[in-house]
């Protein structure tokens, strides 16, 4: 069980729903009968304040819970580890049903829909701290042999093709090398930082687990590090699909990022 905002929503939904239901079944009929005996019109019967609040907030909280748990959830990007795809301060929508419907709090899959694909940008729960969410690009599928040597990435013995584009001229990391990586059927941009020591790696992804890397290859704490490691399937939250706002002072907002799809 994960005690996060989803837990608060579930608890609030249950609390308001139970209060409303108990009043409707046990106490409201008594109020109506007493008012009728005194000749008071039904429209003039006052509900207890707690019941009034519960009845008003229950449907709103329930709708938010359903949307956030099964459809889309907003997240804020807190670092530059996914540059240039995502910037610090980007607010994104994550598709919660791309890889199946999961129960909130318990995170148990109840409906299988799709499978993660190499190259997807995915939000997942950190295996060693499930209350913490990370966002990285899926590089290694279960059973893949992943090798990282400097700026070279190999999957099952084949080098992933990278085309150098030139000097990155975006937000932050002046002088970084910009490249286009052809990961499976996906083309996306990555950054390499001059002077940074590369994090080499050589492992086989276990069954039921995934290997993730940040697009800012030399400035990303990802599956190459012990603190993250392989991510089990049950920790996947959803697929990042679109940027809906960027707000990171002093440059905020960056208007041309609003509405951009995440590739």
Q: Taking the CA of residue 49 as centre, how many other CA atoms within 13 Å lie in the half-sphere pointing to its CB?
A: 0
Q: In degrees to the nearest 10, what's the CA dihedral of 76, 79, 82, 88?
A: 60
Catalytic residue chosen out of the listed positions 69, 81, 98, 223: 81
3-class DSSP state for residue 11? helix
- Comparing CA positions, the residue from 263, 233, 262 lying closest to residue 90 is 262
CA distance 205 to 259: 34
Other Cβ atoms within 10 Å of 131 Cβ, number? 11
Residues 215 and 218: their CA atoms lie apart, in Å, by: 9
81 is catalytic: yes
User: Sign of the C-alpha dihedral, residues 58, 4, 119, 191?
Assistant: positive
Question: Is residue 136 among the annotated active site residues?
Answer: yes
Contact present, 83 and 170 (Cβ < 8 Å): yes
Which of 69, 96, 98, 136 does the annotation list as catalytic? 136
The dihedral through the CA atoms of 190, 196, 200, 206 has a sign that is negative
Q: Answer yes or no: are the C-beta atoms of 85 and 103 closer than 8 Å.
A: no
Q: Catalytic residues, which ones?
A: 81, 136
């Amino acid at each position: 069980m994960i005690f996060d905002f989803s837990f608060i929503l579930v608890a609030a939904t249950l609390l308001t729903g139970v209060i409303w239901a108990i009043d409707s079944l046990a106490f409201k009929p008594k109020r109506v009968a007493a008012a009728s005996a005194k000749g008071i019109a039904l429209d003039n019967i006052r509900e207890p304040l707690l019941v009034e609040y519960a009845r008003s907030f229950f449907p709103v909280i329930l709708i938010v819970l359903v949307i956030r748990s099964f459809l889309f959830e907003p997240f804020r990007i807190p670092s530059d580890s996914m540059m240039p795809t995502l910037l610090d301060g980007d607010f994104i929508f994550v598709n919660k049903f791309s890889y199946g419907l999961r129960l909130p709090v318990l995170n148990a899959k109840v409906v299988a829909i799709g499978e993660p694909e190499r190259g997807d940008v995915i939000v997942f729960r950190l295996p060693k701290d499930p209350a913490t969410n990370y966002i990285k690009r899926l590089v290694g599928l279960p059973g893949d042999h992943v090798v990282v040597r400097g700026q070279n990435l190999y999957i099952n013995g084949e080098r992933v093709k990278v085309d150098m584009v030139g000097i990155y001229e975006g937000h932050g990391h002046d002088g970084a090398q910009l490249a286009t990586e052809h990961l499976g059927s996906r083309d996306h941009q990555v950054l390499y930082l001059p002077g940074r020591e590369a994090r080499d790696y050589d492992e086989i992804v276990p069954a039921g687990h995934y290997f993730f890397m940040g697009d800012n290859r030399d400035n990303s704490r990802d599956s190459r590090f012990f603190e993250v490691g392989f991510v089990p399937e049950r920790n996947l939250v959803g697929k990042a699909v679109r940027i809906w706002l960027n707000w990171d002072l002093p440059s905020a907002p960056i208007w041309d990022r609003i509405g951009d799809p995440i590739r």
